[in-house]
Amino acid sequence: MPLLVIYNPACGDRSAKPFFQEHVLPLLTDQGKKVDLTVETTHEGHAGQVVSEFLRGITGGEPLSVVIGSGDGTVNEVVNELFKDRSGTATVRRIYIALVPCGTANALYSSLFPVPSGEGAAKDIDYRLQSVRAFVSGEGKRVPLSLAATELKSPASSEGGTDTVTKTIVSVVVTSTSLHAAILHSSEALRAEHPGLERFKIAAEQNSTKWFKARARLLPTSPSNTAPEIYDSGSKSFVPASAEGGTVELQGPFAYFLSTINVDRLEPTFRITPLSHSIPPPPNTCDIVVIRPLRDPTLSEDDAAAREQFVAKTWAAMMAAYQEGAHVDLRYDEKGALAPGSQGENLIEYYRCGGWEWHPDSSDEDAHLVCSDGAINVIEPNGWAECRASTSSEDRPTFEIYVA
């Protein structure tokens, strides 16, 4: 089986290169694995180009194994490149990935291999080598990676025409709008000064009072045509969401709108979609966490005072996500407080469905941002976005990750 090794020396705390030289490459050699090509990435998009080019040089239909040392962004680049450029995957359709967590957040790795408690556990050598060890042992299991493909659409140029797709982006971890997209957008400007996770906290403060004007439509699962489901914290299970024609309409404003696949967390302890672990999802679905401030029984309109007042509720949800995903059971009492044991509406609406549409209000520039695995895209004026989750595909390359 052909074997590629790629690491991104610039991601996270920049430890990928020494970690590969000291641990990963010697382990591969010791276990008799012949590496066909080792590449240290030099620029954005490089990892995808390397895999694509390598595939074009292979003639057999065997799967390709790739050891990747990076965060989630580099994995995303490989998947997107192969999704776009099919020339290499005409013969090799299966890509097996052994992942080494070297990024800032490592959502994918820490979801597959939860970090044990204890100071510095995420940096532990054995902790970081688990996927590679599963690969070299020859007995490791692999899990398929689901993909979420988002089409950005521009409005038809004439009445009765069809909207056109201007860009398709693929996520393997998270696709979001609203607060999460705004935070990622602001945090990029802080990367050089704050390379660690603290840049997300600073960016969060900068965006805390924003609400996002849009409407969303949640879509049924394809091909089973199952209507969207919503988590019911009374029965602690998913139940059918009230759906008209198989879809659910959500009117804004939104504070938060985020969907995940493959992961239950975005950082080792930030478990934003914990139910994807505790109640395993069916194929071709994503988990969606929504906060709509006007569900708060003490708020009736969108004004500056209400936005200021609601900041504490959004933070309560974010902080509870760090407490083993406790935000999913936070409920209002009749005075709008989030007291333990309250029996009112849930603060969070937690959906599971086949995908979603996002239609931003043309007056709200911030609502036009879409985040795909950390990369920010902008919906054009009067445009919209459609995201669909898929677990397997007839005509696309498939990706699997080695797990212990």
Ligand X SMILES: Nc1ncnc2c1ncn2[C@@H]1O[C@H](COP(=O)(O)OP(=O)(O)OP(=O)(O)O)[C@@H](O)[C@H]1O
x/- mask, ligand X, residues 274-293, rule CB under 6 A, reads: --------------------
CB 290 within 8 A of CB 257: yes
Nearest approach in angstroms of CB 294 to ligand X is 32
**Any contact of residue 70 with ligand X (CB under 6 A)?**
yes
Of residues 69 and 293, the one with the C-beta less far from ligand X: 69
Among 11, 64, 149, 169, binds ligand X (CB under 6 A): 11
Which residues have a Cβ under 8 Å from the Cβ of 123 and sit 6 or more positions away? none
Among 2, 6, 24, 74, binds ligand X (CB under 6 A): 74
Assign 3-class secondary structure to the chain.
CCEEEEECCCCCCCCHHHHHHHHHHHHHHHCCCCCCEEEECCCCCHHHHHHHHHHHCCCCCCCEEEEEEECHHHHHHHHHHHHHCCCHHHCCCEEEEEEEECCCCCHHHHHHCCCCCCCCHHHCHHHHCHHHHHHHHCCCEEEECCEEEEEEEECCCCCCCCCEEEEEEEECCEEEEHHHHHHHHHHHCCCCCCCCCHHHHHHHHHCCCCCECEEEEEECECCCCECCEEEECCCCEEEECCCECCEEEEECCECEEEEECCCCCCECCECCCCHHHHCCCCCCCEEEEEECHHHCCCCCCCCHHHHHHHHHHHHHHHHHHCCCCHHHHCECCCCCCCCCCCCCCECCEEEEECEEEEEECCCCHHHHEEEECCEEEECCCCCEEEEEEECCCCCCCEEEEEEC
Contacts of ligand X in 19-58 (CB under 6 A):
41-46
**Any contact of residue 264 with ligand X (CB under 6 A)?**
no
Of residues 267 and 349, the one with the C-beta less far from ligand X: 267
**Any contact of residue 77 with ligand X (CB under 6 A)?**
yes
Of residues 82 and 227, the one with the C-beta less far from ligand X: 82
Cα–Cα distance between 234 and 239 in angstroms, integer?
A: 11
Nearest approach in angstroms of CB 171 to ligand X is 12
Partners of 7 in the β-ladder: 40, 69
Nearest approach in angstroms of CB 80 to ligand X is 11
x/- mask, ligand X, residues 92-131, rule CB under 6 A, reads: -----------xxxx-------------------------
Nearest approach in angstroms of CB 160 to ligand X is 40
Span from 9-17, 140-148, 238-246, 348-356 in contact with ligand X (CB under 6 A): 9-17
Of residues 202 and 326, the one with the C-beta less far from ligand X: 202
**Any contact of residue 10 with ligand X (CB under 6 A)?**
yes
Of residues 45 and 282, the one with the C-beta less far from ligand X: 45
Nearest approach in angstroms of CB 192 to ligand X is 11
Span from 7-15, 110-118, 123-131, 208-216 in contact with ligand X (CB under 6 A): 7-15
Of residues 74 and 346, the one with the C-beta less far from ligand X: 74
**Any contact of residue 12 with ligand X (CB under 6 A)?**
yes
**Any contact of residue 81 with ligand X (CB under 6 A)?**
no
CB 231 within 8 A of CB 350: yes
Q: Is 292 exposed, middle or buried (0-12, 13-18, 19+ CB in 10 A)?
A: buried
Span from 5-13, 122-130, 152-160, 219-227 in contact with ligand X (CB under 6 A): 5-13
Nearest approach in angstroms of CB 204 to ligand X is 15
**Any contact of residue 262 with ligand X (CB under 6 A)?**
no
Nearest approach in angstroms of CB 15 to ligand X is 10
Nearest approach in angstroms of CB 180 to ligand X is 13
Contacts of ligand X in 130-149 (CB under 6 A):
none
Cα–Cα distance between 384 and 378 in angstroms, integer?
A: 10
**Any contact of residue 178 with ligand X (CB under 6 A)?**
no
Nearest approach in angstroms of CB 75 to ligand X is 7
Catalog residues that contact ligand X under the rule CB under 6 A: 8-12, 41-46, 70-74, 77, 103-106, 374
